[in-house]
Amino acid sequence: MEWYRILGSIITLIGSIFLFLGALGVFRMPDLYNRMQAGTKATTLGTILTLLGIGICHYEWIGQILVIIMFIALTNPISSHALARAAHFKGIPLTKGSVADKLKEKESTEVEVD
């Protein structure tokens, strides 16, 4: 077996471990926002590494892989931001132990002004 196949497989394995940890985070975290955090970060690096490993195994695909990685790095945080924002405006509360919610203070003052 060629060396680059082994290297690519190892990188793909590391990526899938991160994806697994992301899934575990979504399962274990107490509220939506914390789940969002675990989901976004782990899936970004997990997907990047998984794709990169495939790109190293099949080096003729590396160009396409790099373009896909770029789009994932650009779109992943935007989607999670949109979900978190929508959830907060819908009124989904933070978990019990939360320290502060400055956005809620802002929203409630806006209502008073109106």
Q: How distant is the alpha carbon of residue 67 from its chain centre?
A: 18
Q: What are the residues binding other proteins (CB under 8 A)?
A: 18, 21-22, 24-25, 28-31, 33-34, 36-38, 40-42, 44-46, 48, 60, 63-64, 66-67, 73-74, 76-78, 80-81, 84-85, 88, 94-95, 97-104, 106
Q: Minimum Å distance from CB 80 to other proteins?
A: 6
Closest CA to 32 of 76, 79, 95: 95
User: Could you give the CA distance from residue 36 to residue 74 in angstroms, rounded to a whole number?
Assistant: 16
The C-alpha angle 81, 83, 84, rounded to 5 degrees, equals 65
Closest approach of other proteins to the CB of residue 1, in Å: 25
Closest CA to 57 of 13, 9, 1: 9
Nearer to other proteins, 7 or 92 (CB): 92
* Least gap, CB of 19 to other proteins (angstroms): 10
